[in-house]
Chain A
């Protein structure tokens, strides 16, 4: 039965990734670049969903991880002239360290207190970036385009700003995230994480060290989010404080809720839908916040399972 689930899930993901791969040859430039962005942000949402969807912990501070990865990468490249690949690795390590330490503290709290603690730490990082503006360029942020030598692979040069390179790195990142999270969810660890989401007290009474599992989930989720931030910084050549704002913590929550928590492709679907919804509405109105707000409220009242979750429950029970 688990083998079946694995096969289905991999097939679905392979299908989605394959479709995304083929899309790049037919998409007009505008949508080509939109989809690149959606894939990187979708990877962020997948990282977020690992905590919310599979472990049941809701965070309001993931922008902290995203921004930590992005700034570590960006500052490393800007000040220490790190190669972009090294910069991304440095960003990922920074996010790993931050989420690991943060988890030790934040996971002492549960429920609403956990939400507020994540919000507060996220806000602390945001304010720190503003306060140390001599180092971080505060409100303005900074661009990286001058500091990004092309990636050399097998004697060939790939410029990060090239749309095709961007698109395929985004695709690789997303694919790796999907594969990794699916692999973990179908492993013994994933089974325990789901059990914690369903009934934490009972899981403890089965003899599991619940704190350690939650810590693992938070650390992995934070690292994945941070790495997405690093890659975002390099691919789009900009590091800015908006990525540390509360709104940027709420976004993955919104995407995940919209797509469906605890589903494999829900977060990606949610990211894509929101991206195009905002893109579309802002072409004739600047009132996209209405859309965001209304969708949040509507989902939470009528579709707590999200789109993919609702689909799965009503019609397509085989969806992973």
Chain B
């Protein structure tokens, strides 16, 4: 055992570190998906493309400004705002038109996915492009050095998660969201502007995905097809965590992130994804409300 650990201990540690970073970013993306589903009952298949757009925007601001730090900071503002605006447009011109019918919205957001992917392919091109990290330093562990930026990403994502939690608990928007989630009809009679709440939630969800994209791009480059994988992983997280449950989403992101890290380090990333997908499909079949979610009526 100890011999095994001497040999593999550093690898396990690396897997845990990588897994933690993945988990925080994933939680951020999945939270957006989960909020949108929870409040609007919309499964947004284009969610991954919002993440991709964030990353692509970050590449453009970096390319335009030339300075990694300022480019990054600008992207932190432009990415979510742009994607948020786009989301509001999509809500107004598409989702509302089909009355948020669950199956129609899936088809419509698949359409949106294709359009956004093509948009990125057209203006950005088919290749993967790296973005320099805004800050570069290494944190030295006994066995190896680790990218300080990755740890910063995890920290920033954690801070954002806290912020959203606070927003939901304390703000008027949070109250409106909960009211809309429970019963849109009643919410309207109590003066909740459900239309604006829907737009705000969709923008918030998209904005979170875009932020995650901006944060991640220095670690993993930008390309126009990068949206699919986080979309599937977010599905997995939201399903395990329970559709519409925030705490469950975060717990599930950790389960997925850490196990993805460990299996990827010791085996193969494809295997990790294969097992996760299969597992989650089975969870959904036998416990439609997720492992941690409450039973919905």
Contact = CB atoms under 8 A, between A and B. Distances in A.
A and B touch in the complex (CB under 8 A): yes
Interface of A: 58, 60, 105-106, 108-109, 111-113, 115-117, 119-121, 123-124, 127-128, 130-131, 246, 250, 253, 257, 287-290, 292-297, 299-301, 304
B106 interface: yes
B118 interface: yes
B97 A112 contact: no
Interface in B24-59: 43
A166 B235 CA distance: 41
A116 B235 contact: yes
A106 B281 CA distance: 9
B228 A289 contact: no
Interface string B235-249: 110010000000000
Interface residues of B, number: 41
A287 B43 contact: no
Interface string B264-278: 000010110110011
Contact of B118 (A127, A246, A257, A293): A293
Contacts of B94: 297, 301
A289 B117 contact: yes
A126 to B, nearest CB: 9
Kindly name the residue among A300, A301, A304 whose own CB sees the greatest number of chain B CB atoms within 10 A.
Answer: A300
B255 interface: no
A304 B284 CA distance: 28
B114 A301 contact: no
Interface in B240-297: 268, 270-271, 273-274, 277-278, 280-282, 284-286, 288
B98 interface: yes
A301 B121 contact: no
Given A121-B278, A289-B121, 12 more contacts: A111-B102, A111-B103, A113-B284, A120-B232, A120-B281, A128-B274, A246-B228, A287-B122, A293-B112, A300-B107, A301-B97, A301-B108
20 contacts: A106-B285, A113-B284, A115-B106, A116-B43, A116-B239, A121-B281, A127-B273, A127-B274, A127-B277, A131-B268, A250-B110, A290-B118, A293-B112, A293-B113, A293-B114, A294-B111, A294-B115, A296-B108, A300-B104, A300-B108
A120 B104 CA distance: 19
A60 B114 CA distance: 15
A112 B238 CA distance: 13
Interface string B65-102: 00000000000000000000000000000100110001
Contacts of A297: 94, 108, 111-112, 115
Contacts of B271: 131
A112 B278 contact: no
A71 to B, nearest CB: 15
Given A123-B277, A127-B273, A127-B277, A292 B114 contact: yes
A296 B114 CA distance: 9
Contacts of B280: 120
Interface of B: 43, 94, 97-98, 102-104, 106-108, 110-119, 121-122, 228, 232, 235-236, 239, 268, 270-271, 273-274, 277-278, 280-282, 284-286, 288
Contacts of B110: 250, 253, 293, 296
Nearest to B280: A120
A117 B284 contact: yes
Given A123-B277, A124-B277, A296-B108, A116 B284 contact: yes
A261 to B, nearest CB: 11
B232 A296 contact: no
Contacts of B121: 287, 289
Contacts of A257: 107
A131 B228 CA distance: 18
A111 to B, nearest CB: 6
Contacts of A123: 232, 277
B274 A131 contact: yes
- Nearest 10 CB-CB pairings of A with B: A293-B114, A296-B111, A120-B281, A293-B115, A289-B118, A297-B111, A127-B274, A293-B111, A289-B114, A124-B278
Kindly name the residue among A58, A109, A297 whose own CB sees the greatest number of chain B CB atoms within 10 A.
Answer: A297
A131 to B, nearest CB: 5
B235 to A, nearest CB: 6
A56 to B, nearest CB: 10
A113 B284 CA distance: 7
Contacts of A121: 278, 281
Given A290-B115, A293-B115, A301 B277 contact: no
Nearest to B236: A120
A113 B268 contact: no
Contacts of B274: 124, 127-128, 131
B102 A112 contact: yes
Contacts of A127: 270, 273-274, 277
A109 B286 CA distance: 8
A287 B236 CA distance: 31
A47 B232 CA distance: 26
Contacts of B286: 108
A250 B108 CA distance: 12
A241 to B, nearest CB: 12
Nearest to A123: B277
A301 B239 contact: no
